[in-house]
Structure 1
Amino acid sequence: MSINRVNISGNLTRDPELRVTGGGTQILSFGVAVNDRRRNQQTGEWEDYPNFVDCVVFGARAEPLSRFLSKGSKVAVEGKLRYSSWETKDGQRRSKLEVVVDEVEFLSSRNQQAAGGQGYQQYGQAQQPQAAAPAYGGPVAAAPQPQAQPAYGAVQTPPSADVYDEDIPF
């Protein structure tokens, strides 16, 4: 038995590239930089060494993902390794190892990325609206006041429940 699973997290090294095959299959390609820490033999200090990992997404998820990913985005990727080899026009053999992506988790929001910040953002989390000028050039409307929400990482006490092992039907 063999297992082919990969989990990496890092920053996108370039903007994603979306292509469509002749058969209509969408393909999204992007690269993720993942750091490795090693001790420098001369100085004895720990140093980060980057590894650049090619990733590819196939099918209906490719186009929606391309709208949310951009260079510098911090992501966690889960998938499987795939080895490809080919021969160039001048007869040289080439090969690469890439991750065929099954799951992507966004670890930074677009707003945090633009500001250079790092943080966890769940996909679909509502952003607070900002005041914006209407498209016709009219006056700026005041933005609604945001309601207090618990901060990320805040520990909340779960509601008490009187459930016993005997109450579970299996």
Structure 2
Amino acid sequence: MKKNAEKTIANQSAEVIEITNANVEETKTEKTYTRESNSVELCGYVGFTPQIHEFANGKKKIRFKIATHSNNKNGENKQITKWFPIAAWDNTAEDALSWIKKGDKIKIKGYLSYYSWKDKDGNYRNTFETVATELKAIAA
């Protein structure tokens, strides 16, 4: 069932769950609620200056990657870098182009997007990327 209001619910184990998003999809099973969610928050370093693509319908999209770093948990003192593809559309894209550059530390809020396409050899490819809805500079 679709809900379109803020509310607080309690499940069987007496935990309080805050539901705040409009149009959140809820599934009720034995007095417990499962909330569907697609939210991403990343903080890392920009790998290259964003590239812009302008579409025939006037929409604009930028793409870039950010690197996050973590330490190896096997007792080794080795830093592991993971790269995440980022996209931003229209106003968010235009604003980002005015200040984001390679090496900047930024915080991203957005959602995960999945799409498929055919490559030049006719093979189907699948990709995930984070679509940024908020971008913020972070002091390094």
TM-score between both structures, scaled by the size of structure 2: 0.70
1:8 and 2:42 matched: yes
| Post-superposition offset of 1:30 | 1.1
CA distance in 1, matches of 2:45, 2:104: 5
Q: Which amino acid aligns with 1:18?
A: I
Give matches, 1:28-43, under 5 Å. Answer: 28-40=62-74
Partner of 2:138: 107
CA distance in 2, matches of 1:107, 1:66: 16
1:92 aligned to 100, 103, 123, which one?
A: 123
Question: Higher strand share goes to which structure?
Answer: 2
Partner of 2:59: 25
CA distance in 2, matches of 1:2, 1:47: 36
Partner of 2:105: 74
CA contact under 8 A between 2:66 and 2:83: conserved in structure 1?
A: yes
Question: Higher helix share goes to which structure?
Answer: 1
Q: Which amino acid aligns with 1:35?
A: H
TM-score between both structures, scaled by the size of structure 1: 0.59
CA distance in 2, matches of 1:46, 1:85: 38
| Post-superposition offset of 1:59 | 1.1
- For structure 1, list consecutive stretches of 5 or more residues without a partner in the other structure: 109-117, 119-170
| Post-superposition offset of 1:67 | 1.5
From the CA coordinates, give the structure whose radius of gyration is larger: 1
- Could you give the per-residue CA deviations for residues 126-169 of structure 1, whole angstroms, max 9, x where no partner exists? xxxxxxxxxxxxxxxxxxxxxxxxxxxxxxxxxxxxxxxxxxxx
CA distance in 2, matches of 1:84, 1:37: 31
CA distance in 1, matches of 2:136, 2:48: 17
1:47 and 2:116 matched: no
The RMSD of aligned alpha carbons is 1.3
- For structure 2, list consecutive stretches of 5 or more residues without a partner in the other structure: 1-34
| Post-superposition offset of 1:82 | 0.6
Q: Which consecutive segments of 4 or more residues in structure 1 shift more than 6 A? A: none
CA distance in 2, matches of 1:68, 1:98: 21
